[in-house]
Amino acid sequence: MANSQSFSRPTDLPSWSALTAHAQQLKTRHIKDLFAEDDDRFNKFSIELPRILFDYSKNLITDETKAALLALAKESDIEAWRGKMFGGEHINATEDRAVMHVALRDKSSNPIMIDGLDARPAIDAELERMQKLSEKVRSGEWKGYTGKTITDVVSIGIGGSNLGPLMVTEALKVYGSKALKMHYVSNVDGVQIAEVLEGLNPETVLFVISSKTFTTQETMTNAKTAEQWFMAAAKDKSAIAKHFVAVSTNRKLVTAFGIGEENIFDMWDWVGGRFSLWSAIGLPIALAIGFDGFTDLLKGAYEMDLHFQQAPLEENAPVMMALVGIWNRNFLGYPAQALLPYDQCLHRFPAYMQQAEMESNGKHVNWAGEPISYGSVPLVWGEVGINGQHAFYQMLHQGTDIIPADFIGSVSPNTPVEGHHDALMANFFAQTQALMQGIDANQVRKELAAKGVSAERIEEIVLHKVHKGNRPTNTLLLPQVDAKTLGALIALYEHKIFVQGIIWRIHSFDQWGVELGKVLASAIQPELSADAKINPAHDASTRHLIAFYKNARK
């Protein structure tokens, strides 16, 4: 893949031209008419998996669209690239690494060859260590420096070393231990760690410092603060061994920080940060819901991996989800993608997926480094659906931009409360219907007239009440948010991201775009001390802002 000029650009593919022409025709159609014309539409445009019903029929697509999108997948060599990823090839070419988060959840007994070595023994060994630690802490066998049982876990990490464990432990809270409270610190803004530490007892806290590189400034600053807070009480350095564990690829830096070898959990450079919750980065998950729960999460993801590898493209949920996303983004020109869980458990899912999607596919050059002329990842954003209905859905229904949305709901809630779930799900079903069907002026007139509104008043307001509809959505219906289902759901999106990156011919597994800001921040930080000089080479805006800040802090 690296620097190769030999690959085909998507815009040169016959399917790309066909889709471009087809989109011009289809833009004049309405999804509700496509439903009226085809009784079999739901069956044609949905995929039922054991844990996820994926309905993409409320998109502006026809049989012809599907065929052309599948041709795009074929012409983009999706199957071959999928084989390269699962085969451990260095498809992360700019970092010269394999992309093998899938190895962490491979529940077969086959060897997993990465860089000429079978990675399975190392993966299994780390899993066993995770199991031991989580069982000891959860059972109360692991004691703090004064002999007390651990009651609180503070996970310190950011980005992929935070969002996954946080999202999953929130989602699976009902399966968690009531005796062990989970806390997460990611922000370098001291207010977060101060709030978390307030009220905690150093004798009963376990800190998990998670950082693939162990150089991330936010995490290191928080880890130091945690250590100082702890040492102020414990005094004796040897107590650290009972209260600090770390997950990292960088044993040297972890040891230098003061955490003993026995408390370091390994991960590997072939696990990308935003795909790392399956590794020991998932330790907070195992602590929260138990090792069996963590294993179920892996199993659910593995089921999706097998589906992704084995199902024909037209019945392959990640592939179809990716293709519909490409259709909406590149051929219909929609700029964003909303993620709307109708399940309170999934309230951190949009934030988690934002990193997965936008850090992976927010790229502007192709594999050869050439600027791309087509859109890559759309803006991914979202919020728990029912809250969104009373906030930003106005824009989804009547705004000037069309924003495709994924609606994710569950048949059974994790916490059933009489009278609530059907109320929630009625909205879930109604919203995708409303976004698709809309309501035209005649219907609005009829409804207002039936309510006794005067003809004059009707004409004054009718156009404001029109919804054009034709707004595409996917629906993902889950049986329940349990560990296996959640594992499958996350893996579904991971593979969708992979497929889209391949079609766009961009490098999905690096993240150079976050580096520049980090470099500039470390140059600016010393300038913020009272007597330091502000670099005259900064632009006038940055110079004045820093000067204003420093003056105000005097």
Q: How far is CA 131 from the centre of its chain?
A: 25
Of the two residues 213 and 443, which places its CB atom closer to ligand F6P in the complex?
Answer: 213
Of the two residues 277 and 481, which places its CB atom closer to ligand F6P in the complex?
Answer: 277
Confirm if 300 and 485 have CB atoms less than 8 A apart: yes
Q: Which residue among 178, 235, 252, 390 is the active-site one?
A: 390
Angle CA 232–236–237, to nearest 5: 100
We find the least distance from the C-beta atom of residue 50 to ligand F6P, in angstroms, to be: 30
We find the least distance from the C-beta atom of residue 513 to ligand F6P, in angstroms, to be: 9
Distance CA 539, CA 278 (A): 43
Q: Which residue among 74, 237, 518, 544 is the active-site one?
A: 518
Of the two residues 161 and 474, which places its CB atom closer to ligand F6P in the complex?
Answer: 161
- Which DSSP string corresponds to 164-212? HHHHHHHHTGGGS-TTSEEEEE--SSHHHHHHHHTT--GGGEEEEEE-S
- Reply yes or no on whether 198 is catalytic: no
We find the least distance from the C-beta atom of residue 279 to ligand F6P, in angstroms, to be: 11
Q: How far is CA 431 from the centre of its chain?
A: 23
Question: What are the phi and psi torsion angles at 331 (to 5°)?
Answer: -110, -30
Of the two residues 158 and 483, which places its CB atom closer to ligand F6P in the complex?
Answer: 158
We find the least distance from the C-beta atom of residue 24 to ligand F6P, in angstroms, to be: 39
Q: Residue 238: what residue type?
A: S
Of the two residues 376 and 511, which places its CB atom closer to ligand F6P in the complex?
Answer: 511
Applying CB under 6 A, the residues found at the interface with ligand F6P are: 158-161, 211-213, 216, 219, 273-274, 359, 511, 514
We find the least distance from the C-beta atom of residue 524 to ligand F6P, in angstroms, to be: 17
We find the least distance from the C-beta atom of residue 158 to ligand F6P, in angstroms, to be: 5
Distance CA 260, CA 488 (A): 35
Q: Which residue among 227, 359, 383, 494 is the active-site one?
A: 359
Of the two residues 202 and 273, which places its CB atom closer to ligand F6P in the complex?
Answer: 273
Distance CA 6, CA 553 (A): 56
Q: Which of 457, 479, 436 is nearest to 49 (CA)?
A: 479
| C-alpha separations of 517 from 459, 522, 523, 548 in Å | 53, 9, 10, 21
Q: Which two tokens stand for residue 438?
A: 């809309």
- Reply yes or no on whether 390 is catalytic: yes
Q: Which residues of 159-183 are buried (b: 16+ CB within 10 A; e: fewer)?
A: bbbbbbbbbbbbbbbebbbeebbbb
Catalytic center residues: 359, 390, 518
